[in-house]
């Protein structure tokens, strides 16, 4: 690699031009990178959503969920399926292995569903949806202060939504909380019966009219015209005027006498509003919310700014008293996080430069070295854009982490140049010699730092998806830093460095600073006695090191653990469930109490309430299809987000008659932090007993907060049980009675029409719908003997059933959700496992821990294997560097000792060990051997010149003391602002990572300077000592008194002239 330096110094103008061009392109790349909170991740999951209006969970499970779940089991790449059947809906989540082509998988699912579609209930249309980070809203607008909801909604649909969807980068804008329209046909049963028609005639009339048919072409003269038959239905009046087609002699006779009978003659046709099934409010006021999503390629911040800039126009277009307000916006948090990381990175850069200045005591040398940081970073921006990554908290966090490392190679190069380039030395040859001495070492050290990230490519799940951009960013930055150190730094040194004062021996003659006889510096004089003692008492030194390692292992259990820490994002969710099968009015009344409590909490700026729906179809699907009440809370960005959430929990705990209220745990945007216990059983009764036993066992355990179960509440419903014998006597069947009840209780879709450019569904509904159980019992059923009451052929009574039914590959399951009461996941998971041990469950039932515990264990297991692979890769690189199998093993001893500082610092700061920390450990494996490589490489050079292992160790250790301390302290101080979390934002990934690297660097640096030389001398000097003993000489290899004397001198050895 030293040839790069030779080439650069021969083409100094070219290198300067390349540097300027790289900086320009880096600046352009920085301005064009899209800004996001986290990398866009497409989870390998597909959800199959089906609606079955009016169906109970049991019916949905039997008729929809089970057939579909069974049909898709043979799809390639399918890992697991979970079907959740709730009232009116079925949600089947199909999880695939990472790397599966979801487009192909979606096609396979649709094909499987089409094969069994004929067995599904009429009207059930399964939809397959995928989910990625891009599906979440970028910004949400609330419209409040209006008088007529119908009018304002029409205005929004006509003008606001098209304007928003025209904004560059916007994928879709959707109104949430609005009320749609429908066409209803309400038959008059008496008139229908008098005319001899049934309701089927109304359905047939609608289906057989308003249809366009192609009729071929007609050529007349010079024109060829297409023939089209039929015309669309465009109004309610046209539907009313549709004739009923006679099918019997009496009907034909009536039509001939009185004219054809029309729908309007026997039914009422009206344009009506959809039933109110949800309520939306913002800060207590009725509101319509517009949810805006972006295109995958769009910049989140740019989309948010464009929408915000459009608000004045939208306001003026809509007029009146209605007003727009932003209730959710990703951009401010993204900008704040990026700005905070940038500030911490700049502070780290300043600290690193100050460390270099303190050690080199030269402004010119410091500036030459410092230039490598912005140059490497700008080159990295070009690489980030080339790989299609965005600027987010992970890629920017990687850059901030890398700032402490990109300067290391340049430090080693400039420090060696500074020692060689002294008065009387030829500039060019001195610089080339200095670079040649360290080129192999810094190349090997950079390769090891980069190589540890190779196993990340094989880490699956969300951990791999999130941290691959992180790993690639560090890799690009380190490669750029090596390029800068071997090309730009030598050129800048040639232009700007002045020769230093020559080192002189005791007689005052100039002496090569690399010569072991060269007088030591003040720093070396402080170090040599300590090094001498450790070499003289090698076994004592190693024993102390082993004891420290043992203490580290003993301290490890005291660390807290988590999966991904609290992101500190200024939005969180509160959910509320009110009793069993509450009405919308009951939920509304309970919600007002919670809204009042939330508005009284300091730091909360906006509370968006969705009653009956969470406001997002995707969110509803992925949380199991549950509705209830959802509060999307936005807080002041300057507030402590954890404190605000704690205050909310305290405020809500004092409320009564509000049902169950749950505050979402802090999360990084990657999933819940709740521990889940998955309970399986062969039957519903066994499942209920097993779930109750699990909940009872978890109550009151350490580290466990709120405990909920999706079987904890049963759902009351009205069961109509047909007496088959009585029904048969009256000429009825169970299906006939069930169909009548279904058609009476809920409108049925019989077609669609287009009115004023909007497609509306046509519903056939009963004139009067029973409102009570008694009215339902009295429902008139047409039988062979005339009209009879429903309770004459069926039992009508209130019963209890599950709120939802969950199955995995057909087996009934339930989930017990445990919210940890502490930030230490170890405590909560240990309590859960202890509670489950020896638990007496019904025969065939089982309970296992899942949720975030499974995610954590999977991630920790994969990253553990990645660490082992990284160590192997580092070993291979060092074998190639040192041409030895033994020496790299000595260097790898530094890896476990790096854990000492990392673990102790994590315990001291109270920051839990999570995925980010393990990425830091992975990075640390590459970093800790860097200084060891630089040290051992010089020691080997001294041995090649004839020094003994002992003397070479002393000489190499003292000469490499300054660059090792410089690189370690520069990295440590560069990461200190991030570890301290000075800005308080965006540090949930970078802070634990920085803490691990700082702690590991401190302990590993001490090891490199003291324990590694001792171990090297013992192992590598053993052969020399054996040869000396065979020759009859003493074991002078262990006599270091002369070396470690006050002046630190060693036996003189011939030195090669390095000056002309």
Report if residue 537 sits inside a domain: yes
**Together in a domain, 500 and 535:** no
**Together in a domain, 890 and 1005:** yes
**Together in a domain, 547 and 483:** no
Residue 488 has pLDDT above 80, yes or no: yes
Placement of tokens 């277009």 in the chain: 317
Whether residue 64 contacts residue 121, with contact meaning beta carbons closer than 8 Å, is answered with yes
Separation of alpha carbons 677 and 1028, rounded Å: 67
| Residue 918: CATH number of its domain | 1.20.1640.10
Whether residue 618 contacts residue 135, with contact meaning beta carbons closer than 8 Å, is answered with yes
262-289: pLDDT as tens digits: 888 888 888 887 777 778 888 888 888 8
Contacts of residue 1032, defined as CB under 8 A and 6 or more positions apart, other chains included, come to none
Whether residue 605 contacts residue 634, with contact meaning beta carbons closer than 8 Å, is answered with yes
Report if residue 847 sits inside a domain: no
Contacts of residue 345, defined as CB under 8 A and 6 or more positions apart, other chains included, come to 396, 399, 400, 403, 978
**Together in a domain, 378 and 482:** yes
- Report which of 961, 917, 982 is spatially closest to residue 463, judged by C-alpha positions: 917
Report if residue 225 sits inside a domain: yes
846-885: pLDDT as tens digits: 888 877 777 777 778 888 888 888 888 888 888 888 888 8
Report if residue 102 sits inside a domain: yes
Residue 652 has pLDDT above 60, yes or no: yes
Whether residue 819 contacts residue 421, with contact meaning beta carbons closer than 8 Å, is answered with no
Percent of the chain clearing pLDDT 70 (strictly above): 91
Residue 671 has pLDDT above 70, yes or no: no
**Together in a domain, 897 and 989:** yes
How high does pLDDT run on average in the chain? 80
**Together in a domain, 758 and 895:** no
pLDDT value of position 1032: 62
Q: Read off the pLDDT band of 307 (50, 70, 90).
A: very high
Select from 770, 802, 834 the last residue of a domain.
802
Domain count, the chain: 5
**Together in a domain, 424 and 452:** yes
| Residue 204: CATH number of its domain | 3.30.2090.10
Q: Read off the pLDDT band of 986 (50, 70, 90).
A: low
**Together in a domain, 400 and 474:** yes
Report if residue 833 sits inside a domain: no
Instruction: Give how far Cα 7 sits from Cα of 369, 484, 701, 702, Å.
Output: 20, 13, 68, 65
**Together in a domain, 410 and 452:** yes
**Together in a domain, 961 and 889:** yes
Q: What is the mean predicted confidence (pLDDT) over 299-319?
A: 87
Phi, psi (deg, nearest 5) at residue 912: -65, 155
Residues in the chain: 1060
Select from 216, 250, 273 the last residue of a domain.
273
- DSSP three-state, residue 466: helix
Report if residue 27 sits inside a domain: no
Report if residue 289 sits inside a domain: no
**Together in a domain, 525 and 439:** no
Residue 125 has pLDDT above 50, yes or no: yes
Q: What is the mean predicted confidence (pLDDT) over 628-641?
A: 79
Report if residue 257 sits inside a domain: yes
Select from 786, 802, 818 the last residue of a domain.
802
| Residue 97: CATH number of its domain | 3.30.70.1430
Whether residue 660 contacts residue 708, with contact meaning beta carbons closer than 8 Å, is answered with yes
Structural tokens at position 1040:
């270091």
Residue 141 has pLDDT above 50, yes or no: yes
Q: Read off the pLDDT band of 513 (50, 70, 90).
A: low
Residue 705 has pLDDT above 60, yes or no: yes
**Together in a domain, 103 and 217:** no
Percent of the chain clearing pLDDT 90 (strictly above): 2
724-768: pLDDT as tens digits: 888 888 888 888 888 788 778 878 778 788 877 777 888 888 777
571: which strand partners?
Answer: 634
Separation of alpha carbons 835 and 838, rounded Å: 8
Whether residue 9 contacts residue 487, with contact meaning beta carbons closer than 8 Å, is answered with no
Q: What is the mean predicted confidence (pLDDT) over 509-529?
A: 78
Range of the domain at 764: 715-802
Quickly count: other Cβ atoms within 10 Å of residue 69's Cβ: 23
311-350: pLDDT as tens digits: 988 888 887 778 888 888 878 877 777 777 778 778 888 8
């Amino acid at each position: 690699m030293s040839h790069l330096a030779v080439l650069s110094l021969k083409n100094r103008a070219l290198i300067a031009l390349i540097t300027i061009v790289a900086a320009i392109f880096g600046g352009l790349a920085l301005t064009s990178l899209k800004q996001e909170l986290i990398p866009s991740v497409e989870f390998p999951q597909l959800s199959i959503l089906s609606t079955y209006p009016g169906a109970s969970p049991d019916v949905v499970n039997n008729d929809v969920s089970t057939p579909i779940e069974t049909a898709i089991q043979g799809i390639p790449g399918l890992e697991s399926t979970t079907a959740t059947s709730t009232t009116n809906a079925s949600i089947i989540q199909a999880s695939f292995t990472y790397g599966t082509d979801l487009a192909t998988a979606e096609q396979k699912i649709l094909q499987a569903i089409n094969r069994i579609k004929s067995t599904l209930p009429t009207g059930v249309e399964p939809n397959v949806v995928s989910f990625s980070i891009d599906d979440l809203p970028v910004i949400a607008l609330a419209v409040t202060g209006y008088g007529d909801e119908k009018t304002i909604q029409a205005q929004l649909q006509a003008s606001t939504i098209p304007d928003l969807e025209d904004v560059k980068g916007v994928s879709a804008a959707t109104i949430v909380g609005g009320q749609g329209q429908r066409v209803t046909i309400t038959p008059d049963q008496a008139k229908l019966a008098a005319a001899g028609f049934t309701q089927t005639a109304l359905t047939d009339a609608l289906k057989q009219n308003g249809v366009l048919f192609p009729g071929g072409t007609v050529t007349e003269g010079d024109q060829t015209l297409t023939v089209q038959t039929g015309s669309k239905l465009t109004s309610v009046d046209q539907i009313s005027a549709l004739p009923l087609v006679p099918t019997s002699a009496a009907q034909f006779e009536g039509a001939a006498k009185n004219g054809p009978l029309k729908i309007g003659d026997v039914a009422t046709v009206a344009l009506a509003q959809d039933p109110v099934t949800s309520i939306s409010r913002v800060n207590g006021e009725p509101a319509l919310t517009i949810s805006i999503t972006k295109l995958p390629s769009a910049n989140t911040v740019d989309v948010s700014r464009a929408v915000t800039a459009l608000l004045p126009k939208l306001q003026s277009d809509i007029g009146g008293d209605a007003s727009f307000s932003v209730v959710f916006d990703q951009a401010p948090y993204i900008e704040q996080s990026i700005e905070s990381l940038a500030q911490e990175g700049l502070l780290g850069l300043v600290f690193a430069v100050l460390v270099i200045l303190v050690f080199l005591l030269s402004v010119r040398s410091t500036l030459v070295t410092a230039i490598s940081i912005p140059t490497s970073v700008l080159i990295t921006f070009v690489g980030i854009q080339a790989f299609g990554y965005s600027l987010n908290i992970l890629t920017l966090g990687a850059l901030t982490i890398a700032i402490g490392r990109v300067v290391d190679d340049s430090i080693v190069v400039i420090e060696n140049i500074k020692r060689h380039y002294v008065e009387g030395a030829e500039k060019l040859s001195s610089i080339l010699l200095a670079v040649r001495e360290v080129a192999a070492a810094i190349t090997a050290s950079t390769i090891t730092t980069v190589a540890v990230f190779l196993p990340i490519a094989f880490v699956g799940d969300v951990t791999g998806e999130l941290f691959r951009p992180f790993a690639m960013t560090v890799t690009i930055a380190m490669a750029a830093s090596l390029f800068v150190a071997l090309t730009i730094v030598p050129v800048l040194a040639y232009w700007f460095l002045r020769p230093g004062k020559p080192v002189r021996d005791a007689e005052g003659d100039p002496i090569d600073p690399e010569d072991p006889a060269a007088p030591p510096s003040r720093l070396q004089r402080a170090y040599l006695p300590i090094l001498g003692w450790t070499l003289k008492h090698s076994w004592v030194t190693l024993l102390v090191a082993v004891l420290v390692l043992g203490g580290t292992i003993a301290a490890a259990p005291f660390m807290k653990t988590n999966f991904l820490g609290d992101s500190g994002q200024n939005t969180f969710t509160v959910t509320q469930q009110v009793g069993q099968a509450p009405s919308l009015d009951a939920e509304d009344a309970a919600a007002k109490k919670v809204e009042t409590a939330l508005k009284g909490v300091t730091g909360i700026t906006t509370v968006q309430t969705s009653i009956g729906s969470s406001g997002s179809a995707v969110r509803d699907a992925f949380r199991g299809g549950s509705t209830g009440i959802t509060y999307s809370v936005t807080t002041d960005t300057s507030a402590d987000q954890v404190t605000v959430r704690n205050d909310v929990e305290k405020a809500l705990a004092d409320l009564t008659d509000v049902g169950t209220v749950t505050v979402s745990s802090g999360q990084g945007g990657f999933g819940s932090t709740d521990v889940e216990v998955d309970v399986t059983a062969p039957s519903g009764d066994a499942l209920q007993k097993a779930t109750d036993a699990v909940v009872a066992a978890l109550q009151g355990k350490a580290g466990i907060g709120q405990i909920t179960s999706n079987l904890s509440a049963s759902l009351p419903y009205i069961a109509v049980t047909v007496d088959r014998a009585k029904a048969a006597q009256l000429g009825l069947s169970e299906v006939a009675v069930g169909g009548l009840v279904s058609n009476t209780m809920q409108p049925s879709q019989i077609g669609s029409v287009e009115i004023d450019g909007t497609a509306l569904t046509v519903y056939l509904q009963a004139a009067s719908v029973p409102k009570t159980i008694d009215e339902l019992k009295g429902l008139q059923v047409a039988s062979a003997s005339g009209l009879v009451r429903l309770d004459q052929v069926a039992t009508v009574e209130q019963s209890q059933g599950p709120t939802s039914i969950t199955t995995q590959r057909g087996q009934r399951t339930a989930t017990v959700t445990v919210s940890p009461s502490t930030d230490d996941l170890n405590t909560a998971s240990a309590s859960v496992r202890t509670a489950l041990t020896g638990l007496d469950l019904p025969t065939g039932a089982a309970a296992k821990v899942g949720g975030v515990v499974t995610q954590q264990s999977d991630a920790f297991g994969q990253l553990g294997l990645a660490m082992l692979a990284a160590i192997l890769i580092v070993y291979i690189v060092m074998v190639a560097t040192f041409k030895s199998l033994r020496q790299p093993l000595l260097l790898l001893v530094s890896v476990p000792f790096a854990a000492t500082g990392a673990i102790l610092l994590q315990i001291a700061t109270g920051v839990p060990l999570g995925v980010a920390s393990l990425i830091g450990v992975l990075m640390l494996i590459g970093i800790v051997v860097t200084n060891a490589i630089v040290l051992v490489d010089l020691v080997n050079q001294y041995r090649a010149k004839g020094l003994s292992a002992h003397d070479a160790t002393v000489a190499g250790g003292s000469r490499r003391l300054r660059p090792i301390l410089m690189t370690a302290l520069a990295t440590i101080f560069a990461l200190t602002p991030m570890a301290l979390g000075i800005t308080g934002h965006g540090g949930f990934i970078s802070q634990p990572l920085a803490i691990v690297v700082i702690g590991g660097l401190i302990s590993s640096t001490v090891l490199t300077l003291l324990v590694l030389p001792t171990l090297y001398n013992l192992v590598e000097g053993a052969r020399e000592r054996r040869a000396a003993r065979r020759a009859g000489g003493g074991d002078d290899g262990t006599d270091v008194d002369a070396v470690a004397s006050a002046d630190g001198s060693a036996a003189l050895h011939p030195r090669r002239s390095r000056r002309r």
